[in-house]
Amino acid sequence: MVNSFLLLLLSAAAGLQDPTRPLTPMTVETARPRAQHPQQARFRLQAIFTGGGRPSAIIDGRRYQTGDAVANYRLVRIQPDHILLEGQGEALTLTLFPSLSTPSNQ
């Protein structure tokens, strides 16, 4: 009886999502449709630091500050919830939690 109850609990828990797992960041464009720029998919904004000195951002595991080159782009602005990259005649906005954004505030 105890074994069947334990198996029932374990099978039900397997479908639950880990609440400590971070949201998966996505790239949000400001200039052109996604299909025209497959290169954007490789940029992953992981963290933003705005306190105590110069703001910085972690993109693909590396720390960048305003003015730094990120591939063929330049990091031009760091805000608490997003960053702006410019280069190749376009501007890219990367957000930390795009799933929480609504179309009206993008």
What CATH number does the domain containing 95 carry? Answer: 2.30.30.830
Tokens 């703001």 belong to 55
Question: Which residues of the chain fall short of a pLDDT of 50?
Answer: 31-40, 105-106
pLDDT at position 4: 73
Domain-embedded: residue 4: no
The predicted pLDDT at position 43 comes to 87
Q: What is the per-residue pLDDT for 37?
A: 44
Tell me what pLDDT residue 39 has. Answer: 47
Q: Which domain holds residue 99?
A: 21-105
Q: Residue 78: inside a domain, yes or no?
A: yes
Alpha-helix runs per DSSP H in 1-106: 2-13
Residue 36's pLDDT is what?
Answer: 38
Contact 26, 41 (CB under 8 A): no
With contact defined as beta carbons under 8 Å apart, do 73 and 86 qualify? yes
Spatial contact of 74 and 87, defined as CB atoms under 8 Å apart: yes
Domains in the chain, number: 1
The pLDDT value recorded for residue 38 is 47
> Mean pLDDT of all residues in the chain?
75
For residue 35, what pLDDT is reported? 42
3 belongs to a structural domain = no
pLDDT at residue 84 in the model: 95
pTM above 0.75, yes or no: no
Give me the pLDDT at residue 53, please: 85
Phi/psi of residue 74, nearest 5 degrees = -120, 135
pLDDT given at position 88? 86
Whether 32 is covered by a domain: the verdict is yes
89 belongs to a structural domain: yes
CB-CB contact of 23 with 95 (8 Å): no
